[in-house]
Structure 1
Amino acid sequence: MVDTTFLRGDRLALRSVEPSDLDFLRHHQNDPAMRGSLTRSFPQTIADAESFLDSVTVRENLAFVAIHAGERVGFVALFDVEHVPGRARLGYWVVPEHQGEGYATEMVDLVVEYAFDELRLHKVTADTLAANEASQRVLEKLGFDREGVLREHEYIDGSFVDSHLYAILRSDA
């Protein structure tokens, strides 16, 4: 098999999302244990996954699958990349059986470094549910600042919940 690694860390390789990853993405994004934190209210179909793959471009959306020892362990992406103002939104998740092993921190670190060093972006933002303390720790460990609270911003399991907005500037990294 050809190695298609785009970014490499100490333990992880990040490669672009491929058609062979669609079942992996769909399975985990539909997983009841994960979809709440991903703010997914509707099931993702294979057509939805294919549409997402079509939206991944070098200019606006860059998505990666994280690989450890030949196994897919997570997903990380820069969405809504705006090259003129130099900003993008960050999204990421790690499969449940590998959460707490530091993969999210390594994935985010690799992608933020890429955003600043190679894409020459100025700012990367991320939002996380107020109850998702693990995700908040990842962002804070990497130098993101909490810029605000989006009150009752998401609707999860029958309730409106707050979301925390984080950001990091190139000068902070």
Structure 2
Amino acid sequence: MPGARIARGDRVALRTAEAEDVEFLQRGSANAELRYPLGSRLLNREQVEEVVLDDGEDQFLVCLDGDDAGPGTPADDAVERIGFVAVQDVDWKRPELVYWLVPEVHGEGYGREAVALVLDYVFRTYDAPAVEAGAYAFNDASRGLLESLGFEEEGRLRKRRFVDGEHVDSIVYGLLREEWHD
């Protein structure tokens, strides 16, 4: 079950990812609709557990909270898990965002709201001058989400990863602290 609520927007809540969420997170890792756009490798349960328990990341489940889901650890049926957001390398000057939502909710604006909540969290919690994120050149939805939040394209890594049978470019985006607060 998801952990404590860290932030709440108009429609989504960010809750801490807990060991009990491994099954949901593994389902995301195994889903080709998510794995290929993320360029992720297939992870077994043990590997997902290692990722969830990684101390170098702040990790959140993106949830739709029901009316009886309070700020603490809710009952499993009080929330619906719809995605995941991680902030990697939080001790460096440019933490990196990684995010995904289950395909059933793509295009409904939940991703934009969740990433905005995480950006508020990062700039409130860490002394980072900027946040970065990456998206593959073919992933128009992810690139559009980042650009809609003010991220600027900072570079292209050509043929960075082999994804779904071909080498693809990765686009690096950055958002400066002062750009977010403006």
Q: Structure 2 length as normaliser, TM-score? A: 0.87
Cα deviation, 1:10-66, whole Å, max 9, x if unaligned, reads 11110111111100000111111211012123x2111001111221x3xx3100001
C-alpha distance in structure 2 between counterparts of 1:123 and 1:54, whole Å: 25
Aligned pair partner of 1:107 in 103, 114, 117: 114
C-alpha distance in structure 1 between counterparts of 2:64 and 2:16, whole Å: 14
Question: Which amino acid letter does the alignment assign opposite residue 154 of structure 2?
Answer: E
Larger RCO of the pair (alpha carbons < 8 Å, separation 6+): 2
The yes-or-no answer on 1:61 pairing with 2:70 is: no
C-alpha distance in structure 2 between counterparts of 1:30 and 1:103, whole Å: 21
CA contact (8 A) 1:123 1:169 kept: yes
- 1:27 matched residue in structure 2: 27
Question: Which amino acid letter does the alignment assign opposite residue 45 of structure 1?
Answer: N
Aligned pair partner of 1:138 in 141, 145, 161: 145
| Runs of 5+ unmatched residues, structure 2 | 66-78
Query: For 1:11, what is the secondary structure of its paired residue?
Result: coil
Query: For 1:114, what is the secondary structure of its paired residue?
Result: helix
Runs of 4+ residues over 4 Å off in structure 1: none
CA contact (8 A) 2:62 2:114 kept: yes
Question: Which amino acid letter does the alignment assign opposite residue 30 of structure 2?
Answer: N
Question: Which amino acid letter does the alignment assign opposite residue 156 of structure 2?
Answer: V
RMSD of the TM alignment (CA)? Answer: 1.6
Question: Which amino acid letter does the alignment assign opposite residue 150 of structure 2?
Answer: G
Cα deviation, 1:84-122, whole Å, max 9, x if unaligned, reads xx3201000010000101011011101111111222321
Size of the aligned set, in residue pairs, is: 167
CA contact (8 A) 1:29 1:38 kept: no
Question: Which amino acid letter does the alignment assign opposite residue 49 of structure 1?
Answer: V
Quick one: structure 1 residues 158 and 105, their matched pair in 2 at CA, closer, same or farther if it must change by over 3 Å? same
| Runs of 5+ unmatched residues, structure 1 | none
Aligned pair partner of 2:156 in 140, 146, 149: 149
Q: Structure 1 length as normaliser, TM-score? A: 0.91
Cα deviation, 1:129-159, whole Å, max 9, x if unaligned, reads 1010110111011110000111001111221
Question: Which amino acid letter does the alignment assign opposite residue 156 of structure 1?
Answer: V
Cα deviation, residue 2, structure 1: 9.4
